[in-house]
Amino acid sequence: MNIELRRTTTADFNRYFEILSNKEVPQEVGLPRFDSEIAKQIHFNAVLSNRFSYGIFESENFIGIITLSPNIPDEGIFELGYFLDKYFWNQHIMTDAIRKFIGIIKNADPLITVMIANTWVTNVASKKVLENNGFHFSEQIIETSAYDFLPHKVDQFKLNLAEW
C-alpha cells in the first residue's frame, strides 16, 4: 500500500472527525469525545496550527494523522501522537507513516532531538509500531485520558533522533 504524508488542511476536517466517530479510535489514543461543532472546530484549529501535523493519505484519501508537539522544548523533547482509521489497522501503514514522518522531522528542525510517545500498556500494536521505528521503552507512567477522564497506565517510549 502506497501512503503519503501531507500537511493537514481544512479539507481534512470532516474525514478527521469521521475517523474519530468510531469509538475505538479516540479511546485507544485518549482523545476526548467531541460533542459539539464548536468543540470540533477549536480542536481542529489547534491541529492546523501545529506545523508538525501531517495527514496520512492512501490513494488521496485521508486515513489518519501524525503530530508532534512540544513536551520540554528547551531540551529538544517533543511528543509524538497519531491515529489511523480502524479499517486500516494491522496493515503496517502506521509503521511506514511514522518512518516517513521521522525523516521529515529530522530534516526540518535540528532543535528537535528526542521524540517521546505514550501508549496504553494494553496497546500492543502501537508499541510494535514504535519499536519498529527505533523507539525504546523509557518508563511506565500514569496518565489521565481525555476520553474517559480516568487514570491509565501508559508506557512511554523514546527515540533519540541522533541515533536514528
pLDDT in tens, 27-77: 888 888 888 999 999 999 999 999 999 999 999 999 999 999 998 878 999
- Tell me the residue range of the domain where 74 lies: 3-163
Angstrom CA distances, 103 to 6, 109, 129, 164, stand at 13, 11, 15, 9
Looking at the structure of the chain, the number of domains it has is: 1
Contacts of 55 (CB under 8 A, 6+ apart): 5, 6, 7, 8, 9, 12, 62, 64, 65
Lookup result for grid cell 531540551: 75
- Provide the CATH number for the domain around residue 52: 3.40.630.30
pLDDT digits (tens, 9 = 90+) for 115-139: 999 999 999 999 999 999 999 999 9
Q: What percent of the chain has pLDDT over 70?
A: 100
